[in-house]
């Protein structure tokens, strides 16, 4: 883990940790939370090279390594009065989608390379579980905090990769069961579904006509939704639920960075 200088004094505002903040959705959420006044910690394997403002505290971490994950929370514990928000974005499921010139991400499950299970289940679901467990230990004594797990519609329909569906369904079930156990302490947990997000990889694919970006979302949009949920005085009423970011945004009047209101996609739209 990178040894950045600590804050000169403990942050007095809300403290957030965004895992997988080096790029994509995680980076966008980190930027939005910073703009909303959070003291943001961002973790990831390549966080040192990420295009992030210096106000975001970078903690290099491979969340496949439990000791490194523990180190992230040790730093937050030593530098702050507590953790208020955890957003689990760490995810290795989109790596090595093309191997030896072949697009293997969508091959049948019996032909899937073993590393894809590691990338989705271990670097995704397991990492979220381990981070949530450590976050809960910090949140429970204060009876304060929110945990958000980034998931997707693959939990509810087949989207070209069986392991992908397993991982997202597991994330949603994990959210539901964690919510039951954390409810007595007033700590809500959600699964949050983005739409088509203009991440670096999506923008690259769009150049070849793979994606229609007309209804897409910026990476920062879902972070704006997370902020709205965090500040909702009735937030506990939603604990354990699967939430579609664009639908929540319309409810709270949240718009994207360009002022647009992305549509709330359904399984039929994916």
Active site residue 164: yes
7, 41, 94, 164: the active-site residue: 164
* Sequential DSSP letters for the chain: ---PPPPSS---S-EEEEETTTSHHHHHHHHHHHHTT-EEEEEETTGGGS---TTSEEEE--TTSHHHHHHHHHHHHHHSS---EEEE----TTTT-EETTEE-TTS-GGG--HHHHIIIIIIIIIHHHHHHHHHHHHHGGGT--EEEEE--GGGTS--S-HHHHHHHHHHHHHHHHHHHHHGGGT--EEEEE--SB--HHHHHHHTTTS--GGG-B-TTHHHHHHHHHHT-TTGGGGTT-EEEHHHHHHHHT---TTS-------GGG-
Active-site positions?
Answer: 164
């Amino acid at each position: 883990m990178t040894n950045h200088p600590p804050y000169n004094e403990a942050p007095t505002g809300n403290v957030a940790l965004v895992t997988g903040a080096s790029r994509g959705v995680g980076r966008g959420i980190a930027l939005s939370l910073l703009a909303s006044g959070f003291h943001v910690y961002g973790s990831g394997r390549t966080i040192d090279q990420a295009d992030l403002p210096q106000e975001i505290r970078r903690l290099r971490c491979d969340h496949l390594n439990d000791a490194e994950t523990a180190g992230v929370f040790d730093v937050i514990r030593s530098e702050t009065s507590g953790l208020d928000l955890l957003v689990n974005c760490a995810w290795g499921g989109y790596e090595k989608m093309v191997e030896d010139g072949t697009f293997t991400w969508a091959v049948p499950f019996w032909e899937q390379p073993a590393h894809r299970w590691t990338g989705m289940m271990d670097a995704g679901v397991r990492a979220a579980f381990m981070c949530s467990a450590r976050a809960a230990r910090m949140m429970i004594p204060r009876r304060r905090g929110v945990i958000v797990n980034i998931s997707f519609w693959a939990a509810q329909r087949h989207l070209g990769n069986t392991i992908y569906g397993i991982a997202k369904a597991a994330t949603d079930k994990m959210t539901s069961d964690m919510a039951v156990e954390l409810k007595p302490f007033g700590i809500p947990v959600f699964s949050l579904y983005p739409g088509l997000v203009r991440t670096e990889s999506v923008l690259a694919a769009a150049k070849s006509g793979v994606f229609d970006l007309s209804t897409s979302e910026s990476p920062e949009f879902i972070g704006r939704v997370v902020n709205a949920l965090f500040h909702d005085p009735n937030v506990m009423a939603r604990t354990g639920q699967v939430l579609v970011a664009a639908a929540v945004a319309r409810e709270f009047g949240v718009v994207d960075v360009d002022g647009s209101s992305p549509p709330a996609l359904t399984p039929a739209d994916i």
